[in-house]
Structure 1
Amino acid sequence: MVALNFRVQLESFAYKKLCDVRNSCKSKSLPMCSAYLASNLTNVAPTSTPHFEDPKGITLKKSIKLFSIVAAAALVGGVAVAPASNAAKPKVCLALDTGGVDDKSFNASAWAGAQATKNIADVSYVVADPANPDYAAEVKSLVDKKCNLIIGVGFMIAGEIGKAAVANPKIKFAQVDDPGLVDGKAVANLKGLTFASDQTAFLAGYLAAGYSKTKKVATYGGIAIPTVTIFMAGFENGVNHYNKVKGTNVKVLGWSNATKTGTFVESFTDAVKAVQISKNLEQQGADVIYPIAGGLTFATAGNSVTSKKSVVLGVDSDMFLSASAAQKDIFLNSTMKAVGASVKDVISSVAANKFSNAPYVGTLKNGGGGFAGYHNMASKVPAVLQNEIRQLTKDVISGAVKVS
C-alpha cells in the first residue's frame, strides 16, 4: 500500500509538471517550445524536486528525473514531430496557354490533374492573354512567386519553360506536350510530358473511314505546330490503312502527308473561323470531321448539330462529357491524352521528393492515350467496325501495325 502511494504521488507530480509545461508552451514557436520543454522537464532542479521515500528509505529523485526525460521526449515528439506530417506542401504553378482553364480540352485536363493533388500540394495557375500572349512574362511571374514546380501546358510555352529551367536550377519544371529538351539536351530540373498522339489519331482515321457514308472525311488544326500536325498525319495514315485493308478509296480533306500542308484556324480561340472551316469541309463532302483545335471542336460540333451533315471526333479529352445535350448525339468518339494523369504524376513525385527528369511518354500500351467511347453513337457504329477497332488497338500496341 505504501509503494502504491509513492507511485500515485509520483505520477500526480509528473502529470502536473507536464500540464504546466504544455500550457506555457502554447504561445511559443516550435523551436522555442522544444527548448522550453528540454529546460523544464529534463533539468529538474533539486529544490523543486519532491523527495518521496519508498519503504526502504530510497530517494526517488532519480526516478522522477528519468520519468521527466521520457515525458519530455514524448511531449517534444507531440509538438515537434506531429506537424511534420503537415509539412509545407510544395507550391505548384501551371502556366496555361490562351485557351483558358475551362477550355474543355487540354488546359482543363491539366488543371483537373493538378486539382487531384490538393491534399499533397498547393496548386494554382496563370493563363496567357489570348489577345497578346507573353509567355516569357507568364513564366517569370511564377518564378517570382517562388513556385517549387512550374508546369507549362501547351507547345507554345515550351521555349520559355526551357529557358527558365536553365536559369533557375533550384526550381523544378515540367512541360506538357514537349520532350523537355533545351538545344536538344536534357536538363536536370526539367521533365517532358509527351504523348504518342499519332497512335490514337490512327485509330480515329480508321474509325472515320469505316463510318463515313460519303467516303470523305476531314481534319483541321488550330495552329500548324508539331503537336497538332502529328494528329493530322496519324489520322490520314489511319484512313490509308483502312483503304488498304478494305480496298476502298476514302479521301482525307484538310491535310496532306505528301505536302505536309493543311487547313488551320491559326489560333485556338477563333470560333467564327472554326465554324466557317467546318462548313467548307461539309460542302466538299466530309461527313466526319476531326478538329485538332482544342475547345474549337465544340464550334464544329455546334455546326454539325445545325447542318446535320457531319459527326465529330473529339480530341485530347472525352469531349462528350462537356458537350451540350444536342451535341452529345454527334460525337462519334474522342481521342484522349492522359494529360491530367501526367500532371498528377509529376506533382506527386515532387511532393514525395522523387522528381526525375526522365520523360513521360503516353501511349496506348501504358494508358497514356486511347479512345473515350462511342456513348450515344454506339448503336450507329457497326459492331464489326467496333471489333476491328479493338483488334487494331491491340495490333498497334504489339507493333504488328505501324502508325507511321
Structure 2
Amino acid sequence: MKKSLKLIAVAASLTLITGVAVAPSAQAAKIKLCLALDTGGVDDRSFNEGAWKGAQASTQSTAEYLSAASSADFAPNIKKFVDKGCDLIVGVGFAISAEIVKSAKANPKIKYAVVDDAGEDCDANFNCKPVANVKGLTFQTDEAAFMAGYLAAGVSKTGKVATYGGAPYPTVTIFMDGYARGVAYYNKQKGKSVKVLGWDPASPSSGTFVGNFSDQSKALTISKGFEQQGADVILPVGGNLGAPYAAESEKSKKSVTIWVDSDGFGLLTAGKTILLTTVVKEIGASIKSVAKDVADKKFNGSRYVGTLKNKGVSIAPYHDQSGRVPGKLKLEVRKIRDAIIAGTLKVSA
C-alpha cells in the first residue's frame, strides 16, 4: 500500500513539473498553415495582405507564406509547401486555383483551400467536379459592390462614375457588375442618368482592364483618363493598382476612390483621405475559419460563400468622407443592404 502511494505521489509530482495535467486538448500542437500568394506581394494593401493578416490571426496554426513574381511561381511554391509538410495549403486568388487542385489530387492527405474560386477539377469543356480535400472560399462581392455603386451615383456631382479591373477574371468583373447595377438601380429609383465609364455588364468585351495586377503606371493613366472624361468617383478593382491615383487625387480633389478587398483607410497612407469607402471581402475571416476546421478535424470540401448576410462581404465606413454623404443617402444604402439580406432585392444576374 505504501509502495502504491509513493508511485502515485511520484506520478503527481511529474505531472506538476511537466505541466501536463491541465486540459490536454488546449496543449494540442498547432497545424501548419501555408499561404501561396498571388502576384502583387504580401504588402499589396489589399488582397494578399488581407489573407496574410487572417492567417496570422489564427490561434490554432502557425503561418507562413511564399510570394509569387508571376504565375510561373504558383506550382513551385505549392510544391515547397507540400515538401515542408504543411497541414493546410491556401492558394490566394482565382489564378492559382488550377495548381491547387492539381496538387490536392496528388496529395489527398493534405487539406487545401483556394480564395476566390470553387476549387473544383474542371476539364477542357468546363465540366467540373468537387475535390474532397479542397475548400473553395468564395464571395458574393457584387452584393456589396451594388451598395457602392448606388452610393457613388448618389455622391457624384458630374453624373459620371467609373470602374476598371486588373484582368478580366470573374472575381474581378463581379465587383464591376455589382457597381454598374447599383448605379442603374439609383437611376431607376431617382429618375437620373448617371453614367458608368469602363464597364457595361451587357457588353463585357468592351470593358477597361490594366491587363495585370502590378502595372500601377498604366492604372494611373486609366484613372486620369476617366477623370478627364468627367468621372468623379472611380473604382479600380485590382488590389494595389489604385494607390498612385489615390495619392494624386488627394491633392487635386477632383475625384474620390472606392477601394476593394480590405478597408483602404487602414492600409493606405498617401491617398486615404479621398477614399469614399471600400468594397470589403473578408478573406482573413474565411482563412481563419478553414484553419480552425482543419485543427478541429472538421474540415470538409463544401464551398464557403461570403455574403452580406453572413458578414463575408460589406462596405467599409466612410471615414473622412462621411460629410460628403448626405444622411438620406446613408439611410438608403443601409436599406439596400437590408433588402439584399432579406432577399427582396436581387442584385446578381
TM-score (ref. length: structure 2)? 0.93
| Map of 1:273 onto structure 2 | 218
Q: Distance in 1 between matches of 2:272 and 2:34?
A: 33
Q: CA deviation at 1:211?
A: 0.7
Work out whether residues 31 and 60 of structure 2, in 8 Å CA contact, stay in contact via their aligned partners in 1.
yes
| Map of 1:307 onto structure 2 | 252
Q: 1:366 aligns with which of 306, 310, 321?
A: 310
Q: Distance in 1 between matches of 2:28 and 2:6?
A: 28
Work out whether residues 332 and 374 of structure 1, in 8 Å CA contact, stay in contact via their aligned partners in 2.
yes
Q: Residue 290 in 1 paired to residue 228 in 2?
A: no
| Map of 1:331 onto structure 2 | 275
TM-score (ref. length: structure 1)? 0.81
Q: Distance in 1 between matches of 2:250 and 2:64?
A: 36
Q: 1:125 aligns with which of 54, 65, 73?
A: 65
Q: CA deviation at 1:82?
A: 4.8
Q: Distance in 1 between matches of 2:272 and 2:212?
A: 25
Cα RMSD of the aligned pairs, angstroms, is 1.7
| Map of 2:28 onto structure 1 | 87
Q: 1:154 aligns with which of 87, 93, 102?
A: 93
What code does the residue aligned with 2:42 have? V
Percent identity between the aligned chains?
53
| Map of 1:35 onto structure 2 | none
Q: Distance in 1 between matches of 2:6 and 2:19?
A: 17
Q: Distance in 2 between matches of 1:68 and 1:293?
A: 69
Q: Distance in 2 between matches of 1:352 and 1:125?
A: 22
What code does the residue aligned with 1:234 have? G
Q: CA deviation at 1:66?
A: 2.1
Per-residue CA shift, 1:76-104, capped at 9, x if unaligned? 65559459543332111000011111111
Q: Distance in 2 between matches of 1:233 and 1:319?
A: 21
Q: 1:116 aligns with which of 49, 57, 60?
A: 57
Q: Distance in 1 between matches of 2:66 and 2:121?
A: 23
| Map of 1:381 onto structure 2 | 325
Work out whether residues 161 and 231 of structure 2, in 8 Å CA contact, stay in contact via their aligned partners in 1.
yes
Q: Residue 96 in 1 paired to residue 37 in 2?
A: yes
Structure 1's unaligned 5+ residue stretches are 1-62
Deviates more, 1:63-72 or 1:205-214: 63-72
C-alpha distance 165-82 of structure 1, shift in aligned 2 (>3 A)? farther
Deviates more, 1:225-234 or 1:252-261: 252-261
Deviates more, 1:303-312 or 1:331-340: 303-312
Work out whether residues 99 and 268 of structure 1, in 8 Å CA contact, stay in contact via their aligned partners in 2.
yes
Q: CA deviation at 1:141?
A: 1.2
| Larger RCO, structures 1/2 (Cα 8 Å, 6+ apart) | 2
Q: Distance in 1 between matches of 2:173 and 2:13?
A: 62
Q: Distance in 1 between matches of 2:190 and 2:172?
A: 28
Per-residue CA shift, 1:141-182, capped at 9, x if unaligned? 111111111011011111100111111001000111111211
Structure 2's unaligned 5+ residue stretches are 123-127
| Map of 1:178 onto structure 2 | 117
Q: Residue 190 in 1 paired to residue 134 in 2?
A: yes
Q: 2:105 aligns with which of 155, 166, 180?
A: 166
Q: 2:191 aligns with which of 247, 269, 279?
A: 247
Count of residue correspondences: 339
Q: Moved runs in structure 1, 4+ residues, more than 4 A?
A: 75-85
Q: Distance in 2 between matches of 1:390 and 1:293?
A: 26
Q: CA deviation at 1:400?
A: 1.2
Per-residue CA shift, 1:32-79, capped at 9, x if unaligned? xxxxxxxxxxxxxxxxxxxxxxxxxxxxxxx21221343355356555
- Secondary structure at 1:133 match in 2: helix
Per-residue CA shift, 1:169-223, capped at 9, x if unaligned? 0100011111121122122211111100110111111011111111110000011
Q: Which has more radius of gyration?
A: 1
Work out whether residues 279 and 303 of structure 1, in 8 Å CA contact, stay in contact via their aligned partners in 2.
no
| Map of 1:68 onto structure 2 | 6
Deviates more, 1:82-91 or 1:255-264: 82-91
- Secondary structure at 1:256 match in 2: coil
- Secondary structure at 2:217 match in 1: helix
C-alpha distance 359-75 of structure 1, shift in aligned 2 (>3 A)? farther
- Secondary structure at 1:355 match in 2: coil
